């Protein structure tokens, strides 16, 4: 059994796609890009916003910053609540936490929004460490997010008991798997989220589960 388990947020704990894709749609309109079908914007769920705007719409840095600002204009007021907890998540977190496992959130979403979502769904109490990105665009890369989580876990354990060999990262995108591998921790990928194609297999996830029930069963082994 793992001693520390880190969870991604969007696509792993909550089904946040509607709010994120509508915010992306809103931001893109500012630049004359009309995408009436928000299902085509699913690639915005999970990765850092700056990367999505630059990679998929070839925005330069200054344009990307304006797009991120427009995105948050919608998301921070409305989109953040166009969101729902995946069925079984509360039960899974409660069961895992009851075993004495230390839980953390490691998200590329701005940390202020992470706290809002966790509080909205009344699951914040399960987590000992909560780390997200900064609003100024720093710490958006999953490797950097995980580094801060591990720093806080190490401080919490008095730098004595913390051991990455007893740690797992749970996420729905290849960014989560790659981040885990960069820190030499076990990676668990979930297929009920927003993964694309075979990205989880190609990223080399150590374990892949299909449902929240399967995830709970695996974590409690």
Catalytic residue among 8, 10, 50, 141: 8
Task: Let me know if 172 is a catalytic residue.
Answer: no
- In SS3 terms, the chain reads as CCCEEEECCECCCEECHHHHHHHHHHHHHCCCCCCCCHHHHHHHCCCCHHHHHHHHHCCCHHHHHHHHHHHHHHHCCCHHHCCEECCCHHHHHHHHHCCCCEEEEEEEEEHHHHHHHHHHCCCHHHCCEEEEECCCCCCCCHHHHHHHHHHHHHHHCCCCCCCHHHEEEEECCHHHHHHHHHCCCEEEEECCCCCCCCHHHHHCCCEEECCHHHHHHHHCC
Known catalytic residues are 8
């Amino acid at each position: 059994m793992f001693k520390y388990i880190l969870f991604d947020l969007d696509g792993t704990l909550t089904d946040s796609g509607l709010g994120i894709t509508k915010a992306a749609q809103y931001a893109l309109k500012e630049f004359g890009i009309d995408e009436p079908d928000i299902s085509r914007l699913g690639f915005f769920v999970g990765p850092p916003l700056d990367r999505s705007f630059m990679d998929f719409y070839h925005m330069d840095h200054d344009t990307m910053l304006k797009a991120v600002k427009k995105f948050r204009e919608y998301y921070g007021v409305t989109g953040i609540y166009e969101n729902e907890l995946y069925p079984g998540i509360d039960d899974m977190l409660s069961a895992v936490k009851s075993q004495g496992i230390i839980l953390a959130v490691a998200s590329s979403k701005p940390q202020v929004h992470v706290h809002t979502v966790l509080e909205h769904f009344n699951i914040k109490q399960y987590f000992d460490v909560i780390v997200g990105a900064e609003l100024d665009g720093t710490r958006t890369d999953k490797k950097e997010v995980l580094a801060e989580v591990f720093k806080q876990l190490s401080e919490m354990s008095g730098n004595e008991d913390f051991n990455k060999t007893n740690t797992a990262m749970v996420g729905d995108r290849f960014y989560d798997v790659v981040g885990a591998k960069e820190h030499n921790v076990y990676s668990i990928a979930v297929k009920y989220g927003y993964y694309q194609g075979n990205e989880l297999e190609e990223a080399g996830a150590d374990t892949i589960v299909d449902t929240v029930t399967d995830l709970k069963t695996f974590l409690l082994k």
